[in-house]
Structure 1
Amino acid sequence: MAYSSLLSLSLCFFVLFHGCFAQIEQETQRQRQQQQRFRTECHIDNLNAQEPTQRFESEAGVTEYWDQNDQQFQCAGVALVRHFIQRRGLLLPSFSNAPQLIYVVQGRGFQGAVIPGCPETFQSDSSSQGRGGRRSQQRGSDQHQKVRQIREGDILALPAGVAHWIYNDGESQLVLVSLLDTSNQANQLDENPRKFYLAGNPQQEQQQQGERQRQRQRWGQGQGQSRRQEGSQQSGSNIFSGFDEDFLADSFNVENELARRLQSRDDQRGRIVFVQDELQVLSPQRQEQEREERRWERDDNGVEETFCTLRLQHNIADPRNADVYNPRGGRLTSLNSLNLPILRYLQLSAERGVLYNNAILAPHYNLNSHSVIFAIRGNGRIQVVRHDGQNIFDGELREGQALTVPQNFAVIKKAGSEGFEWVAFKTNDNAMRNPLAGRLSAIRAIPEDVLINSYRINREQARRLKFSRDESTVFSSEYSAQRRRY
């Protein structure tokens, strides 16, 4: 009996130990994923509002790149790209060495992401109706992986190595801004953002980028920077162009002429090409997709999703999804791994902000992430202060410009007379912000006597400091007018 009890107790301890050990392993793995980022350096004396430095025209659009070697992007370990896709323009299939978040700034279209090993769940017969609204009997049947309708305000999440394409089926230009997290653990190469094309001939684009980097090397940058640029200096076509033509023909079991078309060596259209007629793909109607999105928002607990059915998209521009709303000041919407579970694997999140004219976003700092702010509309004055109290940015951020705010650096935003809208990409799947003023602020949480002795003020001043601003996070301009009258 005693032996049986001892055995049962031992088994309980064994199960408890392994359960705790599994939790420790999970946390260790999570910390290990973040260690990659510590290789970046954030010795920043001055920040600047950044605009794209390279522009490449394609047949059906334009691609712009921000300078990846700028110190603020190196600090965050990210790269920023923007695409302008014309009507009936197709962004050719490609994949990257780093996970990325894509924000739809303007327009609509649809996107396909090819997840390895997952089935082609969209299937048609010869009489089915395609995306363009016409019968496709002459085309025969087709099957492919899921295609997603996208619209302004959507965030698209893409793991490293997942090939994707985007098509503009709207009446206006489709504008996308993409952040690639090159310091992510998923990137095992180096901190260069690399695009691997499945189609097209991006030779000119790669040549110009390589030449620009070679010039920087000749200007005497350090050995570490040279290693960063290594590997991006070669030029070439898509990845099929490097294979032997006969190997390709055998692999696909096709004739050599078709294998040569895969290599696209004579294709001068660039990475965004025109589709002659409406693109014919299988996709649910937009209303059906919106109903499905609402169902996920209502029912999803993050458990039901499998890798093949992971949601890769979430809209953060809809005012109904706002986390913070002040009818006199504006709104703030956060996207993290709690409402888009795939971000847990990407270790990224996002924030969409709207400030009305002259409204203020409370001074705050990001506890556990860098933040890359991209101005969507309007303009705002931003100040950034580093650990030693030094103001390293005090200026205007206008539409189309980007600014990096490193982790723990304090920042404040004030909208201009026309308001200010932005999207912020953050390098943590559950980025946290700590406000320094307002109803939910750090100052309000500190006892009065601590404030009195810290700032050498009297009790009345301490109480005014704590309670004069009842708004949280988003402040209206009315309080400032009242304060000036006071």
Structure 2
Amino acid sequence: MAYSSLLSLSLCFLVVFRGCLAQIEQGSEQLQRRQQQHRFETECRLDSINPQEPTIRLESEAGLTEYWNPNDDQFQCAGVTLVRHNIQRRGLLLPSYSNAPQLIYVVQGTGLHGAAMPGCPETFESESSSQFRGEQRAQQRGRDQHQKVRQIREGDILAMPAGVAHWIYNDGESPLILVALLDTSNPANQLDENARKFYLAGNPHQRQQGGGQRLRDERERERWGRRQSRRGQQQQRGGNIFSGFDEEILADAFNIDSELARRMQNQNDQRGNIVRVEGELRVLSPQRQAREQEERIFGTRDNGLEETICTMRLRHNIADPQRADVYNPRGGRITSLNRLNLPILAYIRLSAERGVLYRNAIMAPHYNLNSHSVIYIIRGNGRLQIVGDYGQNVFDGQVQEGQALTVPQNFAVLKKAGNQGLEWVAFKTCDNAMINPLAGRLSTMRAIPVDVLMNSYRIDREEAKRLKFNREESTLFSSESASRRLD
């Protein structure tokens, strides 16, 4: 009888578990269908692709924010917005959140990054006798509590879910340069295709100016104008989210006086979205040396236990040569970041790739199986060729530092470094993005029988063998004879 009862109970649990699992899978499938439908609604009929530089500048007291034209066809195709921040020494990028998840790459410099995860406790706490970072607070009321603050450096990728407020501070001696991709076609965005920033402080839109390249034609100017007008006059006045609340109700909500509530609204603040910190920013944070030593000893791999929403890692460095996934001492290296080495990417459905090509080296012609790829050139120069589905060449030209361009899903791309070498970061619109090389030891051509190649290209057996086996390298090629043929 006891055995029968236990068996019945086990079956009940099994039924409940399978029901819950089915609901989870159904919800995941619905999200995937919504994402696919959203992407199909975007235009990817690209006859040409050109590397772009920022077109809009937002000047601030302690830095500069630049936007790539979101109405450019290639960014419309990928459903993304690209932004670059240049934060001066002791500059603070004001706390804000967005309607779309984003990946932020640290191009240069060091700093501090704080994210306020909803519902999570303040795990960093000081006592009145404790030291803040940089100096000791003298007053008894110096106690503070806040969520984890991360130290960031060149090569770091920061993953930010939609709606999570965060801030960044430059604590180094050189400018802190960041490039951020916002995935506006992500299911987490329930608004529209426009990337929107909601600031918790400041008056960030007051100093917006046109700059850089002008919009290319009248059609783009009209589209940009319609996009701005839809946001209404409230954005033109600037202001943070508190500036729209009634002053007295705001004071009551925070249990503060009206004067402090008025100052929260920052009505006459002309500093922009990057402000200068007087003195040193005082936050609780482990010393940089201790953090780097822990990374060397323990690494940053997930053990399956600590990855809750409140303890989930938001940062991963992809510039460290020791973390390269593909390496050729004569060609360069490739480092991939996906949901397997940064689990939060499974939630925001994005990934990244960091590439380095040595002088005149080549990355095998390849295509992205399951994602668009938005490439930002970090430094150096090179030549890129992109080919579409009908064999048309949609781009064949030089790229250089500071430019960005999109390689749509399944479009074939070939990269060749110039005399200065070529370094890039590629943001990809899938949490486990994959590429398929078309040449080299691990390529599609290696997987095809010789006779199929003979008949496909109308070549003899020896030519087919050379086509298939002449490249023993995988993904990254040294220059040698191949570089001369490409020039």
Worse-superposed segment, 139-148 or 473-482: 473-482
Worse-superposed segment, 357-366 or 458-467: 458-467
Q: CA RMSD in A?
A: 2.9
Looking at structure 2, the residues matched to 70 and 406 of structure 1 have their Cα atoms a distance apart, in angstroms, of 13
Partner of 1:34: 35
Instruction: Report SS of the residue matched to 2:206.
Output: helix
Q: Could you tell me which amino acid in structure 2 is paired with residue 370 of structure 1?
A: H
Partner of 2:137: 136
1:60-87 superposed Cα distances (whole Å, 9 cap, x missing partner): 1111110011100000000011111111
In the alignment, is the contact (CA less than 8 A) between 2:59 and 2:208 conserved in 1?
no
In the alignment, is the contact (CA less than 8 A) between 1:349 and 1:431 conserved in 2?
yes
Looking at structure 1, the residues matched to 277 and 185 of structure 2 have their Cα atoms a distance apart, in angstroms, of 35
Q: Could you tell me which amino acid in structure 2 is paired with residue 69 of structure 1?
A: N
Looking at structure 2, the residues matched to 361 and 233 of structure 1 have their Cα atoms a distance apart, in angstroms, of 48
Looking at structure 2, the residues matched to 377 and 445 of structure 1 have their Cα atoms a distance apart, in angstroms, of 35
Give the C-alpha shift of residue 37 in structure 1: 2.4
1:151-174 superposed Cα distances (whole Å, 9 cap, x missing partner): 000000100111111110101111
Give the C-alpha shift of residue 128 in structure 1: 1.2
Partner of 1:394: 396
Partner of 1:446: 448
One of 120, 123, 126 as aligned partner of 2:122: 120
In the alignment, is the contact (CA less than 8 A) between 1:207 and 1:233 conserved in 2?
no
Looking at structure 1, the residues matched to 98 and 192 of structure 2 have their Cα atoms a distance apart, in angstroms, of 12
Looking at structure 2, the residues matched to 98 and 32 of structure 1 have their Cα atoms a distance apart, in angstroms, of 18
Confirm whether residue 74 of structure 1 aligns to residue 76 of structure 2: yes
Looking at structure 1, the residues matched to 366 and 483 of structure 2 have their Cα atoms a distance apart, in angstroms, of 22
One of 466, 470, 473 as aligned partner of 1:471: 473
Q: Number of aligned pairs?
A: 476
- Note closer, same or farther for the CA distance 1:357–1:109 as it changes in structure 2 (3 Å cut): same
Partner of 2:26: 25
Give the C-alpha shift of residue 116 in structure 1: 0.7
Give the C-alpha shift of residue 203 in structure 1: 3.1
Partner of 1:155: 157
1:245-264 to 2 correspondences below 5 Å? 245-264=247-266
Instruction: Report SS of the residue matched to 1:425.
Output: strand
In the alignment, is the contact (CA less than 8 A) between 2:359 and 2:419 conserved in 1?
yes
Give the C-alpha shift of residue 57 in structure 1: 1.3
Give the C-alpha shift of residue 300 in structure 1: 1.5
Partner of 1:90: 92
Instruction: Report SS of the residue matched to 1:450.
Output: helix
In the alignment, is the contact (CA less than 8 A) between 1:46 and 1:392 conserved in 2?
yes
Looking at structure 1, the residues matched to 176 and 473 of structure 2 have their Cα atoms a distance apart, in angstroms, of 36
Give the C-alpha shift of residue 126 in structure 1: 1.3
Confirm whether residue 337 of structure 1 aligns to residue 339 of structure 2: yes
Give 5+ residue unaligned stretches, structure 2: none
- Note closer, same or farther for the CA distance 1:197–1:451 as it changes in structure 2 (3 Å cut): same
Partner of 1:231: 231
Partner of 1:322: 324
In the alignment, is the contact (CA less than 8 A) between 1:77 and 1:191 conserved in 2?
yes
TM-score (norm 1): 0.91
Partner of 1:381: 383
Q: Could you tell me which amino acid in structure 2 is paired with residue 158 of structure 1?
A: M
Instruction: Report SS of the residue matched to 2:313.
Output: coil
Give the C-alpha shift of residue 466 in structure 1: 0.9
Give the C-alpha shift of residue 452 in structure 1: 0.9
In the alignment, is the contact (CA less than 8 A) between 2:362 and 2:414 conserved in 1?
yes
Looking at structure 1, the residues matched to 145 and 221 of structure 2 have their Cα atoms a distance apart, in angstroms, of 52
- Note closer, same or farther for the CA distance 1:446–1:476 as it changes in structure 2 (3 Å cut): same
One of 354, 359, 362 as aligned partner of 1:360: 362
Looking at structure 2, the residues matched to 416 and 208 of structure 1 have their Cα atoms a distance apart, in angstroms, of 32
Q: Could you tell me which amino acid in structure 2 is paired with residue 28 of structure 1?
A: E
Partner of 1:164: 166
Q: Could you tell me which amino acid in structure 1 is paired with residue 119 of structure 2?
A: G
Instruction: Report SS of the residue matched to 2:472.
Output: coil
1:328-348 superposed Cα distances (whole Å, 9 cap, x missing partner): 010000000000000000000
Matched-pair identity in %: 70
In the alignment, is the contact (CA less than 8 A) between 2:360 and 2:483 conserved in 1?
no
Looking at structure 1, the residues matched to 69 and 256 of structure 2 have their Cα atoms a distance apart, in angstroms, of 42
- Note closer, same or farther for the CA distance 1:450–1:232 as it changes in structure 2 (3 Å cut): farther
One of 183, 188, 195 as aligned partner of 1:181: 183
Looking at structure 2, the residues matched to 160 and 202 of structure 1 have their Cα atoms a distance apart, in angstroms, of 20
1:352-391 superposed Cα distances (whole Å, 9 cap, x missing partner): 0000000001000000000000000001100000000000
Looking at structure 2, the residues matched to 27 and 115 of structure 1 have their Cα atoms a distance apart, in angstroms, of 23
Give 5+ residue unaligned stretches, structure 1: none
Looking at structure 2, the residues matched to 108 and 143 of structure 1 have their Cα atoms a distance apart, in angstroms, of 23
Looking at structure 2, the residues matched to 280 and 10 of structure 1 have their Cα atoms a distance apart, in angstroms, of 55
Looking at structure 1, the residues matched to 229 and 45 of structure 2 have their Cα atoms a distance apart, in angstroms, of 20
In the alignment, is the contact (CA less than 8 A) between 1:353 and 1:421 conserved in 2?
yes
Looking at structure 2, the residues matched to 84 and 460 of structure 1 have their Cα atoms a distance apart, in angstroms, of 55
- Note closer, same or farther for the CA distance 1:269–1:298 as it changes in structure 2 (3 Å cut): closer
Give the C-alpha shift of residue 123 in structure 1: 0.3
TM-score (norm 2): 0.91
In the alignment, is the contact (CA less than 8 A) between 1:96 and 1:161 conserved in 2?
yes
Q: Could you tell me which amino acid in structure 2 is paired with residue 198 of structure 1?
A: L
- Note closer, same or farther for the CA distance 1:382–1:75 as it changes in structure 2 (3 Å cut): same
In the alignment, is the contact (CA less than 8 A) between 2:55 and 2:210 conserved in 1?
no
Give the C-alpha shift of residue 135 in structure 1: 1.1
Give the C-alpha shift of residue 130 in structure 1: 1.3
- Note closer, same or farther for the CA distance 1:65–1:219 as it changes in structure 2 (3 Å cut): closer
In the alignment, is the contact (CA less than 8 A) between 2:58 and 2:208 conserved in 1?
no
1:113-163 superposed Cα distances (whole Å, 9 cap, x missing partner): 01111101000011211111x111326111101000000000001001111
Instruction: Report SS of the residue matched to 2:466.
Output: helix
One of 96, 107, 110 as aligned partner of 1:108: 110
Looking at structure 2, the residues matched to 242 and 26 of structure 1 have their Cα atoms a distance apart, in angstroms, of 36
In the alignment, is the contact (CA less than 8 A) between 2:370 and 2:409 conserved in 1?
yes
In the alignment, is the contact (CA less than 8 A) between 2:332 and 2:361 conserved in 1?
yes
Q: Could you tell me which amino acid in structure 2 is paired with residue 115 of structure 1?
A: M
